[in-house]
Amino acid sequence: MTQIPLLSLIIWVPIIGGIICMFAGDDRKATRARCIALFTAFLNLMLCIPLYTHFDNSTSAMQFVENVDWIAKFGIHYQLGVDGISVLMVILSTITTFLVVIASWKPIQKNVAQYMAAFLIMQGMMVGVFESLDAILFYVFWEGMLIPMYLCIGMWGGPRRTYASIKFFLYTFLGSALMLIALLYLRTKSNDFNILSFYSIKLTMHEQVYIFIAFLFAFAVKIPMWPVHTWLPDAHTEAPAGGSVVLAALMLKMGIYGILRFSMPITPDASQHLAGLMIVLSLIAIVYIAIVAIGQSDMKRLIAYSSVAHMGFTTLACFVVYKIVARTGDLQDAYLTLEGGMVQMLSHAFSTGAMFLGVGVLYERLHSREIGDYGGVAHKMPLFAAFFMLFALANVGLPGTSGFVGEFLIILGSFKASYVITLFAATTLVLSAVYTLWLYKRVFFGVVTRKEVESMKDLELPEYLVLGILAFLVLFIGLYPNALLKTFHTSIGHLLELSTTSKL
Amino acid sequence: MTPFTIPDFLPAASEMFTLGMICVVLLAYVFFDKNNRGITYFLAQLTLMGAAVICILLYDHANEITFNGSFIIDQGSLLLKIFILISTVFVLMYSRVYIKERNIPHGEFYLLVLFSVFGMQVLVSAYSFLTLYLGLELLSLPLYAMIALRSDQASCQEAAMKYFIMGAIASGLLLYGLSMIYGACQSLDLQTVAAMMNLSLQSQSLMLVLGLVLVSAGALFKLGVAPFHLWVPDVYEGSPNAMALFIATAPKLAGFALLLRLLAGAMPALFSHWQSLLIAVAVLSMAVGNIIAIVQDNIKRMLAYSSIANMGYMLLGLIAGTSRGYGSALFYIIIYVIMSLGAFGVITMLSQKGFEVEKIDDFKGLNARNPWLALMMLLIMFSMAGVPPSAGFFAKVGVLESLVKVHMVWLPALALVFAIIGAYYYLRVVKVMYFDEPMEKAPIFVSSFDTQLAISVNGLAVFFLGLFPTGLIELCQKAFLA
């Protein structure tokens, strides 16, 4: 391994860049702030290249490990490391932030320095969440990133931004509180807060169920699962386009990541025991939330609900695993399903992120999120319409796009568990097509009726660039999913083994 | 009766230095500084810093008892003294301009602060009931007088009166309780009382428990813990900002010492009694503080309720009853004082000539008018809410961890629920500063360099103690291992 603390650099470069950015001056010097932010984000992206090329796919052990005492008295360490699952999340976060910085080049004109600073600091903290191997360090990053997100929604958001930002903060803060207690409890059974050493603690069923529920509160709010999803539509709708992208592409993934890193391996028996409940909650998200999405008249709200539905798919993938193993006793199908969940998660980040950016592009021109205010946009913005079509189809799960791979694998796997689960899960293929394509039809097709639409201009260079990169990624994952699969294959196997071995 | 020997004066060096300097300050004020040219201010600062340096030098000599067993220095008391002195240095830096602009008698203000600090030092080091009470009164009386210094506002007189009456009742309760314990144990010396209590617990348990209840009520009164909290919001609101700043900070440290000496020092035998008492009080405090703070629109009242809630969290460390718990409680109260210092510091700084910051709405659009001050206030607010990475987070983690360690899981869970309720009103301040449009566009400049420096150090301390809390945590924990 290299001696350079690569993981630390990926966390701290954006944070320090963000702090520098904050002092770049007021809005008269906005370009300077933008350039600093772009440079930092680009530098961070470059740092991910050695991370990816030096990553060893053949082992499930943590790599690039760094370990320093932080608060020795409490057994808290500054301990970082990545496995196949987290390395992809780290790269995903850096790409997303890079795109967000470019995408916000023009739309953000007020408090530019602070905006860029908030995103860069948020970026560092999110990477910290995915890299932490110490539970308290994880918690620090997990909670710490609420601060920039809260400011981001509240300062640059829409008309109801105050309501949305406080709701967002309190909801997620409430969820995480119980997790802290669970972590402190686990610490009494272990020598330190190392997550990996939590895996080997023996826990009774009783304890496991309590800990599982405590974790569930934290992660379910973040994912978000039905019925604690109500903060998301508000936060998404009111946040600026960049904020929505980060929320959809990264923040929600932290919840799933938490389930994979904490709930399943630390409390395998409780997960097994409560898998039925989790599956039911996921199916409700898939079916009910998708129906709710159909009825939305606000574009961002519609995409937000579609996010909830899609995340339901990934939680389904996580917990249907237990049913498959219980039914067939074979890990192979469970393997496929869980990998499907991972692909779904990453694909959702790109397609939904892209759709939010697309709405941002429209909002920039017309200052409205209402579907009814548009119509016939394809006539005026043909290039943009083509891009949006691609992302819409990826959202629906068309073969050839990234959305297909994940959904296909999950539906395939859930067959082994129960036909009923598959039946409900598969409705997504219809429902997501309904809301996405109907949205597309109302916004892009038809005749131009409003004169504001008449004057809309097609994409400019930064928008073109961002959407182009996203389109490439969506197609790349759709056509060659193996690029992802091979990276996390071994780690998923290890995770599955931990998650299905009883700790009683 | 032991024969008279000359006691060892070295442990009391910082107190003696303070007292000597008070005389110097008094003379300097009377003869040279009637026009507030800064001499008194300078000497007062010198006193505080000098005493702090003495405390730091004494740190290795810790654990000595002198004056016939009525005075102790240990690492815990020195640590508290150092923070009392340093926080008072900051108080004076924040309030210098405020005092000057409002024609408050500056010499009297500085002298009263110094006397009060002197009382705090005595209280922190007290090792018998007598010194304890002496220190307490010496600390409280200047505070009452200080609030009344601003003679042009009736609200200040009212606040001073309220504070005095409430404080007198508290002292009375404390004294009554002490007399009962004295009756049962026949000693005023903390060590002897602790030893005697085991013996007399069988025969005198009713008297002892009654004494315990009265003594705790007195001490909790001083700390402003529910249900003895009603004076806190009124006094904070009515006091001039600079005085509220002082009342909200250093005396809390002294109050903590009082409670700790009385409960953990003198009455370990009654642990199960005072533990259940503190549980009730702490839960009530967290509930009352956090819930009532939500509806406040006066920032000082809001901070008062926040202080009530925070005292509740601090008590959690004492409830654990382990040295780890005491250490965490000490860490908590130090961090709280740093945060409270910053919050009131910002309020005092924003109170320009002829304008008092009272309402939360006075912070509207602060980010547009002075982004640096807004950022400092942001750090402090998030730290008070306990959001990482800030010092307030590790303070909370410390007390909660010590409770989980003794297998009380429900109490931390409840505490966190209240913390979330509390997060709302801290967030509201941030919202007002960052999301709302300012009522006036004109930027706010902080004219004096030293206040600017003080708030920067203070705000960044909250942040950096969150990133690197190890040093202070170690010090706090070590204080209770000796």
Closest CA relative to residue A325, chosen from A200, A492, A497: A497
Q: Does A187 touch chain B (CB under 8 A)?
A: yes
Which residues of B are less than 8 Å from A170 in CB distance?
Answer: 420, 423-424, 427
Average the pLDDT over A441-448 and give the result: 83
> Which bin fits B189, alpha (ψ -120 to 50), beta or left (φ > 0)?
beta
Task: Determine which helix (DSSP H) or strand (DSSP E) holds A283, and give its type and residue range.
Answer: helix A268-284
Nearest CA in chain B to A157: B435
pLDDT digits (tens, 9 = 90+) for B301-335: 999 999 999 999 999 999 998 888 999 999 999 99
- Phi and psi of B421, rounded to 5°? -60, -40
CA dihedral A7→A8→A13→A15, nearest 10 degrees, is 120
CB of A349 within 8 A of CB of A255?
no
Closest of A239, A26, A47 to residue A117, by C-alpha: A26
Chain A from 405 to 424: CB within 8 A of any B CB: none
Instruction: Give me the pLDDT at residue A383, please.
Output: 86
- B331, B387, B426: best to mutate for the A interface, most A CBs within 10 A: B387
Domain boundaries defined on chain A: 267-504
Query: What number is the average pLDDT over the span A274-282?
Result: 90
Which residues pair with residue A77 across a beta bridge? A69
Count CB-CB contacts under 10 A for residue A422. 18
| DSSP for residue B188 | -
State the distance between the two ends of chain B, measured CA to CA, in whole angstroms.
30
* Number of other residues whose CB lies within 10 A of the CB of residue A54: 12
pLDDT at B1: 52
Chain segment B152-207, per-residue pLDDT in tens = 788 888 889 999 999 999 999 999 999 999 988 888 888 888 888 887 777 778 88
**CA A84 to each of CA A98, A259, A413, B66: distance values in angstroms, whole numbers, following the listed order:** 22, 15, 21, 64
Position B326 scores a pLDDT of 92
Query: Which structure tokens are listed for B382?
Result: 């998030």
Q: What is the CA radius of gyration of chain B?
A: 22
A–B interface: beta-carbon pairs under 8 A = 93
pLDDT value at residue A482:
84
Distance from CA of B391 to the nearest CA of A (A): 11
Shortest Cα distance from B230 to chain A (angstroms)? 28
Residues of B in contact with A16 (CB under 8 A): none
- B13 CA: distance to closest CA in chain A (Å): 32
d(CA B193, CA B190): 5
For chain B, the residues whose C-beta falls within 8 A of a C-beta of chain A are 367, 371, 375, 382, 387-389, 393-394, 397-398, 400-401, 404-405, 407, 409, 412-413, 416-417, 419-420, 423-424, 427-428, 430-431, 434-435, 469-470, 473-474, 477
Banded model confidence at residue A114, pLDDT cuts 50, 70, 90: confident
Residues on chain B touching A162 (C-beta within 8 angstroms): 431, 435
B-chain residues within 8 Å CB-CB of A73? 470, 473-474, 477
| CA-atom Rg of chain A in angstroms | 22
* Cα B11 to Cα B74: distance, rounded to the nearest angstrom: 9
Confidence of residue A115 (pLDDT cuts 50, 70, 90): confident
- Alpha carbon distance B425, B431 (integer Å): 10
Distance CA A438, CA A72 (A): 57
Is the model's pLDDT at A165 over the cut of 80?
Answer: yes
Looking at beta carbons, which residues of chain A come within 8 Å of B417?
Answer: 174, 177
**Distance from the A163 Cα atom to the nearest Cα atom in chain B, whole angstroms:** 10
What residue in A sits closest to B433 (Cα-Cα)? A155
How far is the alpha carbon of B414 from chain A, nearest alpha carbon, in Å? 10
Looking at the complex, does the CB of residue A277 fall below 8 Å from at least one CB of chain B?
Answer: no
Shortest Cα distance from B362 to chain A (angstroms)? 18
How far apart, in whole angstroms, are the C-alpha atoms of residue B215 and residue B278?
Answer: 13
Inter-chain contact B470–A166, Cβ cutoff 8 Å?
no
CB contact under 8 A, B416 and A72: no
Question: pLDDT tens per residue, chain B (482 residues)?
Answer: 556 777 788 888 899 999 999 999 999 988 887 777 788 889 999 999 999 999 999 888 778 888 888 888 888 899 999 999 999 999 999 988 888 888 888 888 999 999 999 999 999 999 999 999 999 999 999 999 998 888 778 888 888 999 999 999 999 999 999 999 998 888 888 888 888 888 777 777 888 889 999 999 999 998 989 888 889 999 999 888 889 999 999 999 999 999 998 988 888 888 888 999 999 999 999 999 999 999 999 999 999 999 999 999 999 999 998 888 999 999 999 999 999 999 999 998 888 777 788 888 888 888 888 888 889 999 999 999 988 888 999 999 999 989 988 888 889 989 998 998 888 999 999 999 988 888 877 777 777 888 889 999 999 999 898 888 888 888 888 887 65
**Which of residues 436 through 495 in chain A touch B, CB cutoff 8 A?**
none
Give yes or no for a contact between B105 and B242, defined as CB atoms under 8 angstroms apart. Answer: no
With 0-12 / 13-18 / 19 or more C-beta atoms within 10 angstroms meaning exposed / middle / buried, residue A501 is exposed
- Sign (positive/negative) of CA torsion B128, B130, B133, B134? negative
Q: What is the pLDDT of residue B482?
A: 52
In the numeric block, the tokens 């470069």 are attached to A13
* A73 interface with B at CB cutoff 8 Å: yes
Cβ distance of B420 and A143 shorter than 8 Å: no
Closest Cα in chain B, distance from residue A143 (Å): 6
Q: Can you read off the two tokens belonging to residue A65? A: 């490990």
Chain B interface includes A180 (CB < 8 A): yes
User: How high is the pLDDT of residue A1?
Assistant: 46
Mutate to test the interface with B, among A68, A73, A231 (most CBs of B within 10 A): A73
β-pair partners for A370 = A298
Residues in A closer than 8 angstroms to B397, CB to CB, are 74, 136, 180, 184
Contact A474, A406 (CB under 8 A): no
Identify the residue whose tokens are 């109260």: B333
Output phi, psi for A191, to 5 deg.
Answer: -80, -30
Contacts of B393 in chain A (CB under 8 A): 140, 143
Task: Please judge whether A71 and B394 are an interchain contact, meaning their C-beta atoms are less than 8 angstroms apart.
Answer: yes
Q: Please compute, for residue A171, the number of CA atoms within 13 A of its CA located in the half-sphere on the CB side.
A: 23
Q: CA-CA distance, A231 to A76, in Å (whole number)?
A: 32
State how far the Cα of A441 lies from the Cα of A445, in Å rounded to an integer.
5
Closest CA to B372 of A25, A37, A109, A119: A25
Cβ distance B431 to A162 less than 8 Å, yes or no, reads yes
The span from the CA of B446 to the CA of A125, in Å, is 33
A143–B393: do the CB atoms touch at under 8 Å? yes
Conformation bin of residue B6: beta by default, left when phi > 0, alpha when psi is -120 to 50 = beta
Look up residue A259 and give its DSSP letter.
I
Report the residue of chain B nearest A171, measured CA to CA.
B420
- Nearest CB to B387 within list A114, A146, A178: A146
Contacts of A139 in chain B (CB under 8 A): 388
Tens-place pLDDT, residues A332-360: 888 888 888 888 888 888 888 888 888 88
Contact A174, B420 (CB under 8 A): yes
Contact between B387 and A70 using a beta-carbon 8 Å cutoff: no
CB contact under 8 A, B474 and A187: no
- Cβ burial A200-230 (10 Å sphere, 16+ → b, else e): eeebeeebbbbbbbbbbbbbbbbbbbbebbe
Query: With contacts defined as CB-CB under 8 Å, which chain B residues touch A187?
Result: 401, 404
Q: Touching check for A212 and chain B: CB below 8 Å?
A: no
* Stretch (H or E) spanning B64: strand B64-66
Q: Which two tokens stand for residue B65?
A: 């008892």
| CB spacing of B474 vs A73 below 8 angstroms | yes
Across the interface, which of B387, B430, B473 has its CB nearest the CB of A73?
B473
